[in-house]
Amino acid sequence: NAGVMQNPRHLVRRRGQEARLRCSPMKGHSHVYWYRQLPEEGLKFMVYLQKENIIDESGMPKERFSAEFPKEGPSILRIQQVVRGDSAAYFCASSPSTGKGLTETQYFGPGTRLLVL
């Protein structure tokens, strides 16, 4: 069973360009989470999605950032008009749906390292 897949692993963008990060959850997982890790910091929650729905985006900046998890295909985190402060590692995690209201463990992908020049 393949783990959480993220691509690209490394992404370099110039200021003002768009960054598009992809995440394919583990097979059978219907919940996706995005986190950002700044240098020397822990991970910070950005957004939680289920198929075709954003459930919680309380950690995502209001401007330039958006996320989706379409019915078909991977989840996408999009950053428009990137700035140097967006340079960070972006991690995706997924968890299964138990259907019982239980909290399930989140399993992480390898991350995408975004560098903005």
In the complex, least distance from residue 16 CB atom to another protein, rounded to whole angstroms: 27
Told to check if 58 binds another protein by CB under 8 A, we report: yes
User: Six-digit token pair at 74?
Assistant: 């991977």
Residue 24 phi, psi dihedral angles, 5° rounding: -110, 115
For another protein (CB under 8 A), the number of binding residues is 28
Q: Is the dihedral of CA 73, 75, 81, 84 positive or negative?
A: negative
Instruction: For residue 65, state whether it binds another protein (rule: CB under 8 A).
Output: no
Closer to another protein by Cβ: residue 17 or 107: 107
CA distances to 5, 13, 45, 107, 110 from 115, rounded to whole Å, are 20, 6, 19, 24, 16
Determine if 103 is a binding residue for another protein (CB under 8 A): yes
96 binds another protein (CB under 8 A): no
Contact window for another protein (CB under 8 A) among 16-24, 61-69, 76-84, 87-95? 87-95
Q: What is the CA radius of gyration of the chain?
A: 14
Instruction: Tokens for 22, please give them.
Output: 């992809």
Window contacting another protein (CB under 8 A); options: 17-25, 67-75, 78-86, 94-102 = 94-102
